[in-house]
Amino acid sequence: MSAGIFWLASYPKSGNTWMRLFIANLNGEEEEAVDINELYTGSIASGRGWIDDVLGFDIGALSHDEIDQLRPDVYRWSAEQAESLEYHKIHDAYTTLADGRQLIPANATYGVLYLLRNPLDVAISFAHHSNCSIDKAIDNMSNPQFAFCGGTKRLNNQLRQWLLSWSDHVISWVDAAQINRLVVRYEDMVNHPMTTFSKVAGFLELATDENSITQALEHCTIKKLQEQEQEKGFKEKMATSANFFRKGKVGDWQETLSETQIQRIVTDHCQVMQRFGYLDSQGQPLVNPKPIERQSIQQPAFASQG
Amino acid sequence: MYSYQAFGLAISSEIELPQLIPVNTSDDLSVDVTIEYGKIDKNGLKDPTSKDLYCQSTINHLWLHVPEVAWFEVMNGNKIVVMAETGADLQSIRLFLLGSCMGCILHQRHYLVMHANTIRFGNQCVMFAGASGNGKSTLAAAFHQRGQQILADDVSAINKQGDVTPSYPQIKLWHDAIKQLGIGFSGLNKIRLQVEKYAYPLSDTCFCQQPLPLSAIYLLSSHNEDEFLMEPINGFKKFNPIKNNTYRPKYIKGLELQSVHLKQVGQLAKRIRVTRITRPNRSFQIERLIDFILEDMQSHGMAV
């Protein structure tokens, strides 16, 4: 039996939770949908508990940089100990430590599923999630030094995560040629679910028969997830935001963003947006992205609507 | 050698440990635990029965490597050997000595060691457990500000008589917690130069120096809703929360103390109250949290 770690990597608000729910439902043995508050596909890479537990000593008195030095070994060790395939969410960019080691070493990686979403839609969702203005979210997405939990005056139950800018985040993972990876766009998950999720299931070595995929997808439509959240809340929601499962819509930016905001995002991220089909040949944003050309990424498998 | 006491044990140490309560060496006390520098095999133990990334063990013997700091061996509940990494500072070595290594000593001596703080209320005490980062130390410091004596911060040990034993007279607090509590930084030293975390010393009157019987454990957690929740845990359901909040379960497994541990947890579960408190994670609201806890204690007839 295969064993190791699949990383479910993405910039925040790019479909990671939806993907985890799909995996949980696909793996689930029950007929009923997985409870969104019982969603456990594996600890997030930045979870303090995971690191602390493997190390066997307290990291509560270590600096962010010191903790980062320990993380690659923890992941490698965990991957070696895994008795089956594990699916761990990660929001960190694919970064290199000061000593040249990768935060996520190749030998801790069975595979990476990288999810990306049009940054024009990410900005809206990220602003809701962070309870900040859309302009602030756009600032954060263009900040090459942006990190979650990077403060030095306390240590949360989440470790510091370097997100970098949205473009840097995408490039860091997509161009990491040393690891086995599949890149999937959120828009293809929405617009071409069967094709896209079947490809994902195959890559993640999960059930790929049509019935299983269809049922798993039915259990996690945005409407059903909203209903579950309405009924019993969602523990992964930020306290400051009204709800987690909001619209999940492709192209919300057309109605929500100002022309200035659209231009800012396009200017900040034009190269990566162009590369992943989010701009037309004139550099204008597209609601439904173009099919990706294979040469957009160095050698990984790529699930597009194909 | 320096002489100290903590957890009801007489400690003789080659390394000065200013955080601990010194004892007069002229007192004719037998030594319970010795801490000394020595040679440690960097590759680990010869025939470990348990081997993890930085931690190996056999019965009564733990080997621990903290990269950039030191190698440690903890033996038979009475000896800690230290071999420092080149360039390691003494502050860092002390932290792991007093945390992981003393925690292991206590396991080896068959204390029930909890990842929790302990606060005195009348002639009893109460523990506050919960995952790291949940505000346990901040809560302990806030109780201290309200005049309660502290028995332990972070690691709390229950002896064979069922009493919690006093640990070290200090609380470790992050910069944000100190600011939130309005404590002020003057006179406070960082626990390590590398981090914004401080040792807040407890005076003789603020630190409880006598073992006290444990009456309750409160499990701290938070959620993304606005209300505070108080959920009593009853019967056999108390077992897992106590077990899960034990200090470094990995050591118990490695030292093959599982059966001793399960028995201790079962005995404790029978005689104490266990209550889960969930607070809003939007803001700490420490005063409200304390009022909420005190109200619950009073409703159970505790002196608060």
Task: Please give the Cα distance from A183 to A116 (Å, whole number).
Answer: 8
Amino acid B131: pLDDT: 86
Q: Contact at 8 Å (CB) between A111 and A204?
A: yes
Q: Hey, which residues 190-249 in chain A have their CB within 8 Å of chain B?
A: 233, 235, 237-240
Amino acid A298: pLDDT: 54
B172 — contact with chain A (CB < 8 Å)? yes
B263 — contact with chain A (CB < 8 Å)? no
Q: Contact at 8 Å (CB) between A160 and A280?
A: no
Could you give all domains of chain B from N- to C-terminal order, each with its CATH number?
2-109 (no CATH), 113-299 (3.40.50)
For residue A206 the two structure tokens come to 């999960």
Q: What is the CATH number of domain A4-119+155-241+294-303?
A: 3.40.50.300
Asked if the Cβ–Cβ distance from A153 to B176 is below 8 Å, we say yes
Task: Please give the Cα distance from A293 to A271 (Å, whole number).
Answer: 14
Amino acid B28: pLDDT: 62
Mean pLDDT of all residues in B69-86: 98
Asked if the Cβ–Cβ distance from A155 to B99 is below 8 Å, we say no
Amino acid B26: pLDDT: 65
Chain B residue at shortest CA distance from A77: B53
Mean pLDDT of all residues in B33-54: 96
Asked if the Cβ–Cβ distance from A56 to B64 is below 8 Å, we say yes
Angle at which helix B136-145 crosses helix B286-299, to 10 degrees, equals: 80
Chain B residue at shortest CA distance from A74: B53
B253: nearest Cα among B107, B98, B81: B107
Asked if the Cβ–Cβ distance from A63 to B194 is below 8 Å, we say yes
pLDDT in tens, B236-283: 999 999 999 999 999 999 999 999 999 999 999 999 999 999 998 877
Per DSSP, what are the bridge partners of residue B119? B126, B150
Asked if the Cβ–Cβ distance from B224 to A239 is below 8 Å, we say yes
Helix segments in chain B, DSSP class H? 90-96, 102-108, 136-145, 175-180, 239-244, 249-254, 258-271, 286-299
pLDDT in tens, A189-216: 999 999 999 999 999 999 999 999 999 9
User: Residue B46: which pLDDT band, with cuts at 50, 70 and 90?
Assistant: very high
A131 to chain B, minimum CA–CA distance in Å?
12
Q: DSSP letter string over B77-102?
A: TTEEEEEEPTT--HHHHHHHIIIIIH
Amino acid B164: pLDDT: 98
Contacts of residue A46, Cβ cutoff 8 Å, sequence gap at least 6: A90, A91, A92, A148, A149, A158, A159, A160, A161
| Residue burial A116-154, b: 16+ Cβ < 10 Å; e: rest | bbbbbbbbbbbbbbbeeebeebbebbbeeebbbbeeeeb
Task: Please give the Cα distance from B292 to B231 (Å, whole number).
Answer: 12
The CA–CA distances, whole Å, from B215 to A153, B122, B205, B218 equal 34, 11, 22, 10
Q: Please give the mean pLDDT across all residues of chain A.
A: 92
Asked if the Cβ–Cβ distance from B174 to A58 is below 8 Å, we say no
B133 to chain A, minimum CA–CA distance in Å?
5
pLDDT in tens, B186-224: 999 999 999 999 999 999 999 999 999 999 999 999 988
B244 — contact with chain A (CB < 8 Å)? no
Contacts of residue A290, Cβ cutoff 8 Å, sequence gap at least 6: A277, A280
